[in-house]
Amino acid sequence: MRIQAGQLIPLGHGIWVRSDEVVAVEPVRENRGPGRRARVWVRGIADPLIASRSEDAIRRDLVDPSEVLERARRLETTVSQVADSLDRVPPLLLRMIKQETGLDLKALAADAREATGNGTGRRPGRRADTSVQQPLLAQ
């Protein structure tokens, strides 16, 4: 891994450090749950800073070029929007598309949510589709 020099890395709560000044990153395991905060040692500062971001998030920002990170964030947002849009397709149309093309848009939306780490992708207050899918035409 190569640290991307000269990038500002957010630690949370309005704290930013230069990527090439970070000496070490350690996850904080006590009192906050795993993977939620990290200790960050910065050259020239005796005590570590407590970041409100995970060790993995900070590490990604340290080693990935900022253009790649921004592109990945935009891509993740777009994939999430597509998955949410597919949720609004009427069940009858989903069945017709699957029957005519073999493309399962519901499964595609679920795969998109899993790939972006959004779990079910359901927002609070949204109903899950509970309709039973039946074939359109009898064979």
Percent of the chain's residues with pLDDT above 90: 40
> Is pLDDT above 50 for 47?
yes
Stated length of the chain: 139
SS3 content of the chain, % helix, strand, coil (to 5): 40, 20, 40
Give the predicted TM-score (pTM) of the model: 0.48
pLDDT band at 2, cuts 50/70/90?
low
> Is pLDDT above 80 for 5?
no
> Is pLDDT above 70 for 33?
no
Amino acid 92 reads: L
Q: Is 89 exposed, middle or buried (0-12, 13-18, 19+ CB in 10 A)?
A: middle
Q: How far, in Å, are 46, 58, 64, 88, 89 from residue 61 at the CA level?
A: 23, 5, 6, 34, 36
Please compute the mean of the pLDDT values over residues 96-123 and round it to a whole number.
82
Query: Residue-wise over 11-27: b if at least 16 C-beta within 10 A, else e?
Result: bbeeeebebebbeebeb
pLDDT value of position 25 = 93
Q: For all residues of the chain together, what is the average pLDDT?
A: 80
pLDDT value of position 88 = 92
